[in-house]
């Protein structure tokens, strides 16, 4: 990225990139980062062992959207000579969900009470690592912006024909990317607008597709909208007139 003239000061990393070598290089390049720690790391086990017993308390409770978690921040040294901050979290919704699944499996598969108790201790537990001190109620929203970015690329690949490229010139590549990302933005806006409704972007477009019009001379006359189309127009705050001048 530096070779392309992009000045990167902050990165949100996938957990798979959290290695000592990568961290050391980013520290030396003065690039701040946030990432999730994998459970098999020694630092993860150390943080959980030291702070999990005192995690569940009122002072550590934070909300994110409609979910609650207990989060505790602790200083650490993931790479010798470089300080960072570990955020030990307990997702309360995920704890209940995973425990319910465990209890069901225990009855069917004959898992002992001791094994059930041991497995319960890890339910809903996560550790985020940040090189900057961030408020406990801000670390989850910051890290989960990564999911939004991944969703955009998922839309690009699966809905807007970003791949395969099948192009042979740079100008064609730039034009193709522009159209693909523009279409992805439109699709993402559709998803956000319909998030709390019964509609998906696909069935919304199908419903609107059936709203027809006729052209008479220099005017466009729209047909009466069906119930589903009317509901969608209200969601998007679109006022449908029945007589438009043809421009």
In percent, the amount of the chain with pLDDT more than 70 equals 98
In percent, the amount of the chain with pLDDT more than 90 equals 36
- pLDDT (0 to 100) of residue 247: 63
In the predicted model, what is the mean pLDDT of residues 55-62? 93
88's enclosing H/E stretch is: strand 82-91
In the block, residue with structure tokens 């705050």: 237
In sequence order, the 6+-apart residues with CB closer than 8 A to the CB of 236 are: 193
- Tell me the pLDDT tens digit for each residue of 160-194: 877 777 777 888 888 888 888 888 888 888 888 88
- Tell me the pLDDT tens digit for each residue of 183-239: 888 888 888 888 888 888 888 888 888 888 888 888 888 888 888 898 999 998 888
- pLDDT (0 to 100) of residue 127: 96
- pLDDT (0 to 100) of residue 57: 92
Q: And the tokens for 132? A: 């900057």
In sequence order, the 6+-apart residues with CB closer than 8 A to the CB of 83 are: 75, 76, 77
In sequence order, the 6+-apart residues with CB closer than 8 A to the CB of 170 are: none
**Better-scored residue on pLDDT, 17 or 242:** 17
Query: Does 30 have pLDDT greater than 80?
Result: yes
Candidate from 75-79, 104-108, 130-134 with smallest mean pLDDT:
104-108
Q: And the tokens for 99? A: 């425990």
In the predicted model, what is the mean pLDDT of residues 94-107? 88
The backbone torsions φ and ψ at residue 116, rounded to the nearest 5 degrees and listed phi first, read: -60, -45
Query: Does 12 have pLDDT greater than 80?
Result: yes
Alpha helices in the chain (DSSP H): 20-28, 42-51, 92-109, 113-120, 139-143, 145-158, 170-193, 201-209, 227-235
Between CA 184 and CA 161 the distance in angstroms is 10
Q: What is the mean pLDDT of the chain?
A: 88
Contact in structure between 127 and 47 (CB atoms under 8 Å): yes
- pLDDT (0 to 100) of residue 246: 65
Between CA 97 and CA 91 the distance in angstroms is 10
Query: Does 45 have pLDDT greater than 90?
Result: yes
What pairing do the DSSP bridges indicate for beta strands 32-36 and 10-13? parallel
């Amino acid at each position: 990225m530096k070779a392309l003239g992009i000045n990167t000061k902050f990165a949100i990393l996938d957990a798979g990139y959290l290695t000592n070598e990568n961290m050391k290089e980013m520290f030396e390049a003065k690039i701040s980062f946030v990432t999730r720690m994998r459970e098999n790391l020694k630092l993860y086990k150390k943080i959980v062992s030291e702070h999990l017993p005192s995690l569940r308390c009122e002072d550590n409770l934070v909300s994110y959207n409609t979910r609650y978690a207990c989060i505790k921040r602790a200083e650490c040294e993931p790479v010798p000579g470089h300080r960072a901050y570990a955020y030990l979290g307990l997702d309360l919704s995920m704890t209940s969900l995973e425990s319910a699944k465990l209890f069901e499996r225990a009855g069917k598969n004959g898992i002992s009470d001791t094994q059930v108790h041991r497995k319960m201790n890890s339910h809903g537990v996560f550790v985020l690592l940040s090189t900057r001190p961030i408020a406990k109620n801000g670390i989850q929203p910051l890290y989960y912006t990564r999911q939004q970015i991944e969703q955009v690329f998922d839309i690009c690949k699966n809905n807007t024909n970003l791949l395969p490229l099948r192009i042979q010139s740079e100008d064609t590549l730039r034009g193709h990317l522009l159209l693909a990302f523009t279409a992805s933005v439109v699709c993402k806006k559709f998803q956000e607008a319909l998030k709390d409704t019964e509609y998906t972007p696909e069935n919304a477009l199908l419903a609107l597709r059936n709203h027809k019009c006729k052209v008479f001379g220099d005017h466009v006359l729209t047909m009466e909208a069906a119930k589903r189309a009317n509901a969608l127009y209200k969601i998007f705050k679109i006022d449908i007139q029945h007589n438009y001048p043809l421009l």
